[in-house]
């Protein structure tokens, strides 16, 4: 089907051949201008037209087989939509009394591709700023937590030192009291020994008394 046949196919729906030709020309011109400008034209259920950049490369001449360098170029590309693919493959049947390509959903025709791109860029920028703000808040919250943990650690160390000092003081006091008790217990033992010494003297006196009585006899 060429352009003339296409016009004939749609002239009955548009009210005449001239109206159909003008409609086809306007639609094709709008698609070409958008793709040249770098925009993507997508029709729901039909497909999308877009501009693709090809880098410089080497190719072969099919007639001579000679290797030829191809410069960097930009080419248009059409990608068929899922509905179009299903109709061509036979997964779906063509409707007899309805349009093969369904109408676009409500709200999709309100803005162009440029407005959609701008909206997506703005949304991405807002998300990035929101993520940065949340990261800063999280960092600010984490900083005091670290300081409090450091304070707790120092407090624990000081309490441990105090308890260690108290335990050593208690041990030293206990040693002093035990030393005093031991000395107090040992002192009376020496006194008892000193008291026992006069007992020997009495025995010696008794022996002298016996000797004097013996002499008198």
**What local confidence, expressed as pLDDT, does residue 200 receive?**
55
Q: Give the 3-state secondary structure of residue 69.
A: strand
Q: Give the 3-state secondary structure of residue 101.
A: coil
**What local confidence, expressed as pLDDT, does residue 197 receive?**
45
**What local confidence, expressed as pLDDT, does residue 97 receive?**
77
Q: Among the residues of 15-103, which ranges form H helices?
A: 17-36, 82-89
CB 38, CB 51: distance < 8 Å: yes
Domains along the chain with CATH numbers: 3-109 (4.10.520.10)
Q: Give the residue ranges of the chain where pLDDT is below 50.
A: 111-113, 115, 145-146, 182-184, 187-199, 202, 217
* 35 CB-contact burial (10 Å; exposed 0-12 / middle 13-18 / buried 19+): buried
**What local confidence, expressed as pLDDT, does residue 182 receive?**
45
Of 76, 70, 73, whose CA–CA distance to 48 is shortest? 76
**What local confidence, expressed as pLDDT, does residue 163 receive?**
74
Of 27, 31, 34, whose CA–CA distance to 115 is shortest? 34
**What local confidence, expressed as pLDDT, does residue 211 receive?**
57
d(CA 101, CA 94): 10
């Amino acid at each position: 089907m060429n352009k003339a046949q296409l016009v004939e196919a749609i002239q009955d729906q548009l009210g005449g051949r001239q109206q159909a030709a003008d409609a086809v020309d306007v639609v094709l011109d709008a698609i070409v201008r958008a793709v040249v400008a770098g925009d993507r034209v997508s029709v729901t259920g039909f497909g999308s037209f877009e501009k693709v950049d090809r880098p410089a490369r080497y190719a072969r001449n099919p007639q001579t087989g000679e290797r030829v360098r191809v410069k960097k170029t930009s080419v248009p590309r059409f990608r068929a939509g899922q509905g179009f693919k299903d109709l061509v493959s036979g997964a779906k049947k063509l409707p007899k009394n309805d349009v093969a390509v369904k109408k676009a959903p409500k709200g999709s025709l309100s803005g162009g591709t440029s407005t959609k791109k701008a909206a997506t860029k703005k949304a991405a920028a807002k998300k990035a700023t929101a993520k940065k703000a949340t990261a800063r808040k999280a960092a600010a919250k984490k900083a005091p937590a670290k300081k409090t943990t450091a304070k707790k650690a120092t407090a624990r160390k000081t309490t441990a030192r105090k308890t260690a000092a108290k335990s050593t003081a208690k041990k030293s006091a206990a040693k002093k009291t035990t030393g005093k008790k031991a000395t107090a217990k040992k002192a009376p033992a020496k006194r008892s020994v000193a008291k026992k010494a006069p007992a020997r003297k009495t025995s010696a006196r008794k022996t002298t008394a016996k000797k004097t009585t013996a002499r008198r006899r």
